[in-house]
Amino acid sequence: MLHSDPNIDGHRQIWTAEAARALFDQPLMDLLFQAQTVHRQHFDPNRVQLSRLLSIKTGGCPEDCSYCSQSARHDSGLSASKLMEVQRVLAEARRARDAGATRYCMGAAWRSPKARDMPQIVAMIEGVKALGMETCMTLGMLDADQSAQLAEAGLDYYNHNIDTSEAHYSNVITTRTFAERIDTLEAVRQAGIKVCSGGILGLGEGRQDRVDMLVTLANLPSPPDSVPINMLIPVEGTPLENAAPVDPIEFVRMIATARIMMPQSHVRLSAGRTAMSDEMQAMCFFAGANSIFVGDTLLTKDNPEEESDMRLFAKLGLQPMVAHEHAPDEARRAALLADDPAIPILR
Ligand code: SAM
Ligand code: DTB
Ligand code: SF4
């Protein structure tokens, strides 16, 4: 038995805050070994999924998220734009696909989508799918009807982050509640769309908030398929512009704990990589991160140049995952276990 003490509910582990905290607090080498062991049970450790982001509607957002460059309530100097035309989105998506991205994530700075925007959104989903990529959208809050429309259009993933713990939430965002975030995740799940949900480190939260955020995610009716872990990009003009930087080892612990608690999920090393060394990113991959955003821009802020990412992948012997490659099936898992001398305890 690995070092954790989750309650077992049928086949599903229900995580207590105490068990999750015990994982997070372990000596780093024990935590990393456990995370890498779990990672190898479910994934090829040398494959990383590549997602590409496009901001399809930038800035002017009515919400007050204190980290965000796109809130109309902060003066970050960003100019707001309207929803992008479908043909332009598809041209960008084609370029991303030709450069190796397997998932295309489209983000809009909305509290929630308006009915008049839905036909354009649906056309984007259909067009990107026709290019052979997985589709992901992040458009703010959704109700059951909106979720059903997106599912009908063929949307694969919906990104909606809980961002931090329930206890810390109102220190970061006041224009919506943590419970509303969970409601959207449930509407998306009920519609049959895969859920992508994670959060940010560096919002002034403590370790317990980090642990509690992971407990909420892992205990959802089904854990998210993708879990983005962002490191705050401090944005001038936002309330968090001078937030204290996150300790890199603490960030690695977060990735490792997420990997152990959500063994089947893609854990995405998301925003903040331009401020991370190669060594820190390598530790994150070792801790079980197996997805990144590629391309030199996230939504509004910088991401590493593609060339420098490919150099890093070459140095580490990492390979991009191919489109629609997910957790290995049982045969693949058995082969991984049989072949791998690094995981003797699992034989
Ligand atoms: N408006 C939609 C929403 O909030 O769900 C979608 C777009 S929003 C920009 C997507 C996510 O990006 C946020 O939930 C947050 O986790 C992340 N994010 C935004 N600004 C960030 C920053 N400066 N640093 C790190 N992550 C950030
Ligand atoms: C997520 O968790 N991170 C991405 C994606 N989901 C939409 C967004 C990161 C945004 C970073 C700040 C910016 O580019 O404005
Ligand atoms: Fe708007 Fe999303 Fe930014 Fe919050 S995180 S201000 S909802 S774009």
pLDDT in tens, 282-292: 999 999 999 99
Dump pLDDT digits (tens) for 114-131.
999 999 999 999 999 999
Ligand nearest to the CA of 72: 3
- For residue 206, the CA-to-ligand 2 centroid distance in Å is 21
Kindly give the number of the ligand 2 atom that is closest to the alpha carbon of 302: 14
Is 61 annotated as belonging to a binding site? yes
Q: How does residue 180 score in pLDDT terms, banded at 50, 70 and 90?
A: very high
Is the backbone of residue 10 left (phi > 0), alpha (psi -120 to 50) or beta?
left
Kindly give the number of the ligand 1 atom that is closest to the alpha carbon of 67: 23
How many Å apart are CA 282 and CA 294, to the nearest integer? Answer: 16
Q: How does residue 5 score in pLDDT terms, banded at 50, 70 and 90?
A: very low
Kindly report the CA angle at 79 between 76 and 83, in degrees rounded to 5?
A: 125
- For residue 303, the CA-to-ligand 3 centroid distance in Å is 18
The CA-based diameter of the chain, rounded to the nearest angstrom, is 57
- For residue 29, the CA-to-ligand 2 centroid distance in Å is 30
| pTM for the full predicted model | 0.92
Is 60 exceeded by the pLDDT of residue 303? yes
Ligand nearest to the CA of 138: 1
Choose the residue to mutate in 53, 57, 68, 111 for probing ligand 1, maximizing ligand atoms within 8 Å of C-beta.
68
- Determine the pLDDT at residue 2: 42
Average pLDDT, the chain: 91
Dump pLDDT digits (tens) for 192-210.
999 999 999 999 999 999 9
Q: How does residue 3 score in pLDDT terms, banded at 50, 70 and 90?
A: very low
Is 70 exceeded by the pLDDT of residue 328? no
Is 268 annotated as belonging to a binding site? yes
Q: Between 76 and 323, whose confidence is greater?
A: 76
Kindly give the number of the ligand 1 atom that is closest to the alpha carbon of 70: 9
- For residue 79, the CA-to-ligand 3 centroid distance in Å is 14
Which DSSP letter does residue 247 get? P
Helices (H), the chain: 17-25, 28-42, 86-98, 118-130, 144-153, 166-172, 178-190, 207-218, 248-261, 278-286, 306-316, 330-339
Dump pLDDT digits (tens) for 150-169.
999 999 999 999 999 999 99
The residues assigned a catalytic role are: 61, 65, 68, 105, 136, 196, 268
Could you give the angle at which helices 248-261 and 207-218 cross, rounded to 10 degrees?
20
- Determine the pLDDT at residue 7: 47
Return the CATH architecture of domain 26-322.
Answer: Alpha-Beta Barrel (3.20)
Ligand nearest to the CA of 161: 1
Choose the residue to mutate in 67, 227, 233, 302 for probing ligand 1, maximizing ligand atoms within 8 Å of C-beta.
67
- For atom 8 of ligand 3, which residue has the closest CA? 109
Dump pLDDT digits (tens) for 253-277.
999 999 999 999 999 999 999 999 9
- For residue 112, the CA-to-ligand 3 centroid distance in Å is 10
Q: Between 339 and 188, whose confidence is greater?
A: 188
Portion of the chain with pLDDT greater than 70, in percent: 90
Sign of the dihedral through C-alpha 200, 273, 47, 346: negative
Q: Between 336 and 215, whose confidence is greater?
A: 215
